[in-house]
Structures are given as structure tokens and as C-alpha cells.
Chains A and B, each alone.
Chain A
């Protein structure tokens, strides 16, 4: 793939895929987090 050996292709594309899935998972798990504004005391 793109002239890369298989392990390298896994490194280059595998981790991004993992993080995309992780992010989607995070969005799902946090779907109930409140949407209204809170105070900003910082």
C-alpha cells in the first residue's frame, strides 16, 4: 500500500483508524453531557 511494507502500513493507517473509532465512542458515551452553559469562574 503506497509502496509501504505491511507493518508500516498498519502503523500509518491503523492508529488513525483506532483514534477515529475512539473519538466516535467518546461522543457516544458522552452524549448526555449537558449542553447548557455553566458558569465560567476561571
Chain B
């Protein structure tokens, strides 16, 4: 299989830790790591003018946009590492960079407006820092399959269409 290097968000949960995450929930069921999938996110550095007391403040933030669904989120600063992964394990981005930028803009404006409860121009400036991937471990637990987020250790079942 061809392996090419991609930037992934520095993980905290390795294969063994992911397995333990699932196994720990039901000791009687068989748990097994089946592989990994790499999920794309567009990464932006944002500066925003937020109305403050008597003046405006420039706040910096990081924003990630889900590369397949366009959902935005703010995030703490994180490290990335390079890793060589097989083509088949990478989920490609479905959004264009421009669509992602729009999504980020929209999300940041919305988030600030909601928090400050203000209608104003927040002057959200975005700089695009490329696409990063997050590793999700595919883990089987009993009859079900789960993804385990390699950064946070959180899990979610993946419901497959009934055969």
C-alpha cells in the first residue's frame, strides 16, 4: 500500500489505550482494534475584534472546520506531527478551501455574537493553516464497532447500514 505523509493532530491515545477504552466498558465482550481512519479538518488562525470595556480587544483563536460537513469549532492550540499513512485510511475533505473559510468566518462571528450578546462587526480575520487530520481508532467491542478519538479518548459507535 502506498504510504504518504500527512499532518495529524498529536495524539494522546495510542492503539493500546484505545483498546482499553472500549474493553474497559464491558469486560465480557471481546474488544479488538481493527485499524485507524484519518479525518480531515481545515485549520484556521483567527483574530477577532471583540467589544470590550471602552475599547475593542483583539483576541486570537484557533478554529477547525470539519472537512466533510463544514461544522465549525474553536479549539485550543495543538501540536501536529507528520505520519505516513496508507491512502485507504484517509478520508478526503469534501469541502473546498473557500467553502471551509466561509464556514469558519460564519462560525466565529456567530460564536462571538452569541457570547457577547452584541450585534456588531467583529472583524474576523482568518489565515488558513492547511488541512490537518485526526486519527480515529476503529475498535470493535462485542457486536458493535466504535471510533475512538486519538486526541481526547472519546468514543462513538459507528452505525453501519443494516445488511
Contacts and interface: CB of A to CB of B under 8 A. Distances in A.
A36 interface: yes
A38 B73 CA distance: 12
Contacts of B72: 41
B154 A40 contact: no
Contacts of B71: 41
Interface of B: 71-74, 107, 111, 114, 154
B114 A42 contact: yes
Contacts of A38: 154
Nearest to A34: B154
Interface in A1-42: 36, 38-42
A34 B156 CA distance: 12
Interface of A: 36, 38-42
A39 to B, nearest CB: 6
A41 B154 contact: no
A41 B154 CA distance: 15
A38 B155 CA distance: 11
B107 to A, nearest CB: 8
A4 to B, nearest CB: 41
Contacts of A39: 73
A39 B111 CA distance: 14
A34 to B, nearest CB: 9
A35 to B, nearest CB: 12
Nearest to A41: B73
Contacts of A42: 111, 114
A13 B73 CA distance: 45
Nearest to B149: A39
A36 B74 CA distance: 18
A36 B72 CA distance: 21
Nearest to A39: B73
Given A41-B71, A41-B72, A41-B73, A36 B154 contact: yes
